[in-house]
């Protein structure tokens, strides 16, 4: 809240005072670049936050501008003009969301592919705009677009676009500070992990692209009346490239970076293009240098500090609401067959767990332990067999739904969000199956805590360093944090893949204690893949031995140790 | 009527062959080095401007090939060293960096040659009669040259020691280094070779298309579509991809108009990204 007020004061005062410092011509030029800044804020939102590099932001600006231009020409004196213009902003927003849903649907798409698709789309728009003469005016575009009724003077241009920019800045500052902003940054870093926390990465990305489109659309809708013309240049790849350059140099992950980039570099370009012939060449080189050595842009290294001073994470934590009901941690697998290429990994695997407790999955390398987990969470799909997870039959498992129902999985390599703080990492887990849509846009959920979180913080004091960035943690701490994330979701079925790998003896003991405590207090089932027999002895209520994709034996530790078949497999004797 | 059909067929074949040649260079950098080089089209543009430059100096057309190779090599070598190599491990940033590079190259060419459209005279005049259709002789030569070039490169890649070493590098760079393959030099040469191939395509295309600084965007996008449809695994994918994309665009454009042809190809590529993200011929 403090952050938002500070933003409102800063941006408002800055934009208000600026008009007294500059002359009329610059004020008018500024008005134009303020509009570009609004579109550029959209690039910051989709690229800087959600990691979606769009080479086609001009698509939204252009669509907004053409719709607004056509509306103004046709209905300039109608009472419904303003509502119509508002809906002209909405169309590019809906377009962005729709494109997102179409592109991201089903599969996780490589970032490069997304960039090129957006480039393809903006080039398509450019072709349509230049060839559909009857509507778009072809190469010349829409000429003689009237200004906004009542606000059509030369002197109004600055006021209009400065106000719009003010609103856009506040909107972005607000979004970035909400749980939704945290989720976007998490998606940019590790989509799969976000899905394992019960969120839909594709929906999150589509929303980011939609809002980016909305901002682009707003810029376009105002562009038409202020410039009095709309040309197909808005769809040109040059403008879209400029948005990327401005956001990159200014600082794509910050609120003010895209604004500084668009307005600062824009004005510089206006001034220098006449005097320095090779200014564009210099700009291209600055951009490449930024990408190579200065990834977060000018403000990327400044704004986070200011933000930290303004909002110290000292706000008191409040208890999170109870999570949605979960299933019982049971598992029933029958005759699972899984083959990848020519290699048969799971071979008629059957395995059943009908009561909570701690179960260990052991077996030589290549026995299919991790693959069994992967089949259960939908990473790999089994060719045949039946699975019933948490008492419901699952035909094609997917991580997000399972997480919602109460499954948590920890991968062998720690999967934590490096760019986020410890507190944000734990909050993500607390939001699983707890946060509703309105809360995603509020600030309360950032302060949530739970009994589990408090106990984890007591056991591992580094977790209380709330604003510390996770990229600064040691390997052992990352393993612990990953486990803490899984446990904070309060799962009923916990899959742990070598949770103690790479940990010291003391750390290992702490993790063992924690797993036992969590399983008991949550009434959960924990299935642990483990190689270390001492650990298995300490932990397991029951042991499953896998060999060549098949269940070789099951029983207590003592029973397993006395089993001849198991001895043969591990002792290297003949089959 | 028959002659018209044959001419259409030849036009479509021409599109496909040229597309395959341009895509081969992109496939080399993306498939072998994992870098999606968005500046690939600009090297086609540089090749085309080499032909324009050679012509404006009054030199013979064939001199454009060494000029283009020299230009692409001279730009490509430092680009690999200073821009691409630091980013092999950050493929996402490599896209951005090469997008910046494409801008830089466009601006530089614009600085020296201006923004306008240029044309290069066809070095071989006249037409040949094929099955009743009169077709420009030069385009036939370009087609044959492109096919020969693709065949040579593929044959060389599959049979030569260097080709094997590249395959080893792609498969496991660390192991390749451990067995004594100079991975850094090999990657650089592969990258530069991909660029030179783009330059050569540009020289071949220059007399047929309009030569201007922004001509590259279209090629990089279409080549990318080819790789999406065809997949990166096999030369067959490249041929099929070029056939599908080049053929579909030329056909739809001829029947309806250019916008429809382009939309069709874009939608087709999107469908492939959804349903078959590894392309028709998977690795």
Distance CA(A239)–CA(A243), nearest Å, equals 6
> Model confidence at B170, in pLDDT bands (50, 70, 90)?
confident
Distance CA(A340)–CA(A554), nearest Å, equals 26
pLDDT tens per residue across span B29-42: 887 788 888 999 99
A278 close to B (CB below 8 A): yes
Class of A331-571 per CATH?
alpha beta
Q: Which of A300, A190, A181, A211 is nearest to A252 (CA)?
A: A300
List, as ranges, residues 117-176 from B with C-beta within 8 Å of A. none
Nearest CA in chain B to A282: B104
Mean pLDDT of chain A: 86
pLDDT tens per residue across span A133-192: 888 887 888 888 888 777 777 778 888 888 899 999 999 999 998 999 999 999 999 888
Which residue would you say has higher pLDDT here, A452 or A394?
A452
| Distance of alpha carbon A325 from the chain centroid | 26
**What's the Cα-to-Cα distance from A561 to each of A149, A350, A537, rounded to whole Å?**
86, 21, 10
A107 close to B (CB below 8 A): yes
Domain boundaries, chain B: 2-215
pLDDT tens per residue across span A81-93: 888 889 989 999 9
pLDDT tens per residue across span B223-254: 988 988 887 767 788 888 888 888 888 888 88
DSSP A565: H
A237 close to B (CB below 8 A): yes
A292–B274 CB contact, under 8 Å: no
**DSSP string of A483-526, one letter each residue:** HHHHHHT--SEEEEESTTTT--HHHHHHHHHHHHHHHHHHT-EE
Distance CA(B96)–CA(B100), nearest Å, equals 6
From B92, B228, B270, residue closest to A111, measured CB to CB = B92
A445 Cβ partners below 8 Å, 6+ apart? Answer: A179, A320, A427, A430, A431, A435, A439
> Model confidence at B263, in pLDDT bands (50, 70, 90)?
confident
> Any idea what the Cα angle at residue A462 is, between residues A300 and A317, rounded to 5°?
80
Helix (H, G, I), strand (E, B) or coil at B126: coil
Q: At what angle do helices B40-56 and B2-27 cross, to 10 degrees?
A: 110
The CA distance from B223 to the nearest CA of chain A, in Å, is: 11
Radius of gyration (C-alpha) of chain A in whole angstroms: 28
Helix (H, G, I), strand (E, B) or coil at A542: strand
Domain boundaries, chain A: 2-310, 331-571
B96 Cβ partners below 8 Å, 6+ apart? Answer: A53, A244, A248, A291
> Any idea what the Cα angle at residue A503 is, between residues A498 and A505, rounded to 5°?
115
Tell me what the mean pLDDT of segment A400-427 comes to.
Answer: 90
CA atoms within 13 A on the CB side of A245: 28
> Model confidence at B167, in pLDDT bands (50, 70, 90)?
confident
B273–A103 CB contact, under 8 Å: yes
From B91, B97, B273, residue closest to A292, measured CB to CB = B97
Q: What is the pLDDT of residue A575?
A: 40
Nearest CA in chain B to A52: B92
Tell me what the mean pLDDT of segment A455-466 comes to.
Answer: 90
What is the 3-class SS of B201-263, one letter each residue? Answer: HHHHHCCCCCECCCCHHHHHHHHHHHHHHHCCCCHHHHHHHHHHHHHHHHHHHHHCCHHHHHH
Q: Would you state the structure tokens that stand for residue B164, as one six-digit string? A: 């094997």
B113 close to A (CB below 8 A): no
> Any idea what the Cα angle at residue A76 is, between residues A70 and A77, rounded to 5°?
155
* Contact predicate A362/A531, CB 8 Å: yes
A120 close to B (CB below 8 A): yes
ipTM of the complex: 0.85
Q: Which residues does residue A545 pair with via DSSP β-bridges, in sequence order?
A: A362, A553
Distance CA(A250)–CA(A261), nearest Å, equals 4
* Contact predicate B27/B166, CB 8 Å: no
Tell me what the mean pLDDT of segment B111-125 comes to.
Answer: 85
* Contact predicate B77/B69, CB 8 Å: no
Q: Is the pLDDT of residue A397 over 90?
A: no
Q: Is the pLDDT of residue A417 over 70?
A: yes
Q: Is the pLDDT of residue A312 over 70?
A: no
């Amino acid at each position: 809240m403090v952050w938002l007020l500070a933003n409102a004061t800063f941006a408002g005062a800055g934009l208000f005072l600026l008009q007294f410092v500059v002359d009329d011509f610059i004020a008018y030029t500024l008005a134009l670049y303020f509009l570009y800044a609004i579109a550029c804020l959209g690039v910051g939102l989709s690229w800087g936050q959600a990691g979606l590099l769009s080479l086609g932001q001009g698509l939204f600006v252009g669509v907004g501008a053409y719709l607004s231009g056509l509306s103004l020409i046709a209905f300039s004196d109608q009472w419904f003009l303003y509502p119509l213009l508002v809906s002209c902003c909405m169309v590019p927003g809906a377009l962005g969301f729709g494109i997102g849903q179409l592109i991201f649907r089903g599969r996780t798409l490589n970032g490069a592919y997304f960039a090129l698709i957006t480039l393809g789309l903006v080039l398509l728009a450019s072709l349509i705009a230049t060839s559909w003469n009857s509507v778009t005016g072809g190469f010349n575009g829409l000429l003689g677009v009237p200004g906004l009724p009542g606000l059509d003077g030369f002197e109004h241009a600055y006021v209009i676009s400065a106000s719009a920019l003010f609103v856009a800045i506040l909107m972005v500052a607000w979004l970035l500070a909400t749980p939704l902003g945290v989720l976007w940054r998490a998606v940019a870093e590790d989509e799969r992990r976000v899905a394992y926390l019960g969120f839909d990465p594709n929906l999150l990305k589509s929303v980011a692209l939609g809002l980016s489109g909305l901002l682009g659309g707003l810029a376009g809708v105002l562009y038409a009346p202020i410039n009095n013309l709309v040309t197909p240049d808005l769809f040109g790849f040059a403008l879209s490239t400029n948005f990327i350059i401005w956001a990159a140099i200014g600082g794509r992950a910050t609120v003010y970076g895209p604004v500084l980039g668009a307005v600062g570099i824009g004005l510089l370009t206006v001034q220098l293009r006449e005097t320095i012939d090779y200014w564009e060449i210099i700009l291209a080189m600055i951009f490449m240098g930024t990408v190579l050595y200065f990834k977060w842009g000018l403000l990327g290294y400044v704004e986070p500090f200011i933000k930290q001073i303004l909002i110290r994470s000292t706000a008191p934590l409040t208890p999170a609401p109870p999570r949605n009901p979960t299933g019982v941690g049971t598992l029933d697998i029958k005759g699972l067959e899984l083959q990848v290429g020519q290699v048969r990994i799971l071979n008629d695997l059957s395995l059943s767990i009908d009561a909570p407790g701690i179960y260990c999955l052991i077996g030589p390398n290549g026995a299919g332990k991790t693959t069994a987990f992967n089949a259960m969470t939908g990473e790999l799909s089994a060719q045949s067999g039946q699975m019933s997870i948490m008492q419901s039959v699952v035909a094609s498992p997917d991580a997000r739904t399972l997480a919602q129902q109460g499954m948590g999985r920890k991968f062998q390599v720690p999967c934590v969000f490096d760019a986020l703080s410890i507190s944000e990492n734990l909050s993500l887990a607390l939001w699983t199956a707890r946060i509703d849509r309105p809360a995603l846009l509020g600030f309360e959920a950032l302060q949530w805590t739970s009994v589990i979180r408090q106990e984890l913080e007591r056991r591992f004091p580094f977790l209380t360093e709330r604003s510390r960035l996770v990229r600064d943690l040691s390997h052992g701490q990352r393993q612990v944090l990953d486990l803490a994330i899984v446990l904070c979701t309060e799962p009923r079925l916990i899959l742990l893949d070598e949770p103690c790998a790479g940990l010291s003896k003391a750390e290992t003991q702490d993790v063992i204690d924690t797993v036992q405590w969590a399983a008991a207090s949550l009434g959960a089932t924990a299935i642990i893949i483990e190689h270390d027999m001492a650990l298995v002895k300490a932990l397991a209520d029951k042991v499953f031995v896998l060999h060549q994709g098949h269940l070789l034996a099951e029983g207590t530790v003592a029973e397993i140790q006395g089993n001849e078949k198991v001895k043969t497999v591990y002792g290297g004797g003949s089959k | 009527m028959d002659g018209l059909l044959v001419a259409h067929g030849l036009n479509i074949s021409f599109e496909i062959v040229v597309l395959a040649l341009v895509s081969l260079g992109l496939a080399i950098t993306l498939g072998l080095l994992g870098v999606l080089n968005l500046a690939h089209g600009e090297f086609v543009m540089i090749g085309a401007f080499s032909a324009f430059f050679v012509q404006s100096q009054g030199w013979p057309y064939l001199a454009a090939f060494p000029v283009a190779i020299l230009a692409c090599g001279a730009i490509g070598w430092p680009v690999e060293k200073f821009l691409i190599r630091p980013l092999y491990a950050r493929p996402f940033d490599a896209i951005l960096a090469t997008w910046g590079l494409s801008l830089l190259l466009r601006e530089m060419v614009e600085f020296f040659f201006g923004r306008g459209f240029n044309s290069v005279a066809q070095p071989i005049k006249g037409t040949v009669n094929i099955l009743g259709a009169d077709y420009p002789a030069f385009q036939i030569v370009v087609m044959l040259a492109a096919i020969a070039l693709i065949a040579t490169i593929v044959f060389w890649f599959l049979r030569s020691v260097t080709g094997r070493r590249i395959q080893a590098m792609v498969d496991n760079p660390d192991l390749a280094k451990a067995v004594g393959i100079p991975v850094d030099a090999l990657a650089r040469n592969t990258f530069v070779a991909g660029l030179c191939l783009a330059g050569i395509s540009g020289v071949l295309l220059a007399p047929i298309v309009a030569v201007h600084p922004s001509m590259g965007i279209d090629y990089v996008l279409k080549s990318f579509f080819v790789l999406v449809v065809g997949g990166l695994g096999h030369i067959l994918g490249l041929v099929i991809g070029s056939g599908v994309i080049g053929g579909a665009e030329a056909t739809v454009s001829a029947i309806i108009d250019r916008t429809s042809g382009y939309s069709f190809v874009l939608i087709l590529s999107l469908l492939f990204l959804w349903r078959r993200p590894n392309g028709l011929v998977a690795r």
